[in-house]
């Protein structure tokens, strides 16, 4: 199961961790550093998406509009997981 973040999800994740601008401000051109960081991540995700599709592997695109519970349900559905009683 591959979770593929949208650009908005990646940016939000960085911002919530407080690391987005922290990394960028360590450079002489923070705006460019931020752009490059987000672009690198976008390119990585696009390459991963293409590989996943080519290999026919299951994937879910993750966005900021999706709750953790919704994501867990979608993953369980794709992996056909069901809750089994203990024992």
In a domain, 14, yes or no: yes
Give the gyration radius of the chain's Cα atoms. 17
In a domain, 18, yes or no: yes
In a domain, 34, yes or no: yes
Query: Is 5 within 8 Å of 71 (Cβ atoms)?
Result: no
pTM, rounded to two decimals:
0.72
| Residue-wise pLDDT tens digits, 13-52 | 877 776 666 766 778 888 888 888 889 999 999 999 999 9
Q: Residue 74 is part of which domain span?
A: 2-78
In a domain, 87, yes or no: no
Query: Is 2 within 8 Å of 55 (Cβ atoms)?
Result: no
In a domain, 39, yes or no: yes
Eight-state DSSP code of residue 85: P
In a domain, 61, yes or no: yes
| Residue-wise pLDDT tens digits, 68-79 | 999 999 999 988
Per the structure, the count of domains in the chain is: 1
């Amino acid at each position: 199961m591959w979770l593929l973040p949208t650009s908005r999800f990646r940016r939000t994740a960085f911002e919530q961790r407080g690391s987005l601008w922290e990394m960028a401000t360590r450079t002489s051109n923070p705006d460019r550093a931020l752009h490059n960081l987000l672009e690198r991540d976008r390119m990585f995700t696009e390459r991963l998406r293409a590989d996943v599709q080519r290999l026919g592997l299951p994937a879910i695109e993750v966005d900021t509009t999706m709750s953790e519970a919704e994501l867990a349900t979608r993953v369980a559905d794709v992996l056909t997981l069901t809750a089994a009683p203990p024992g």
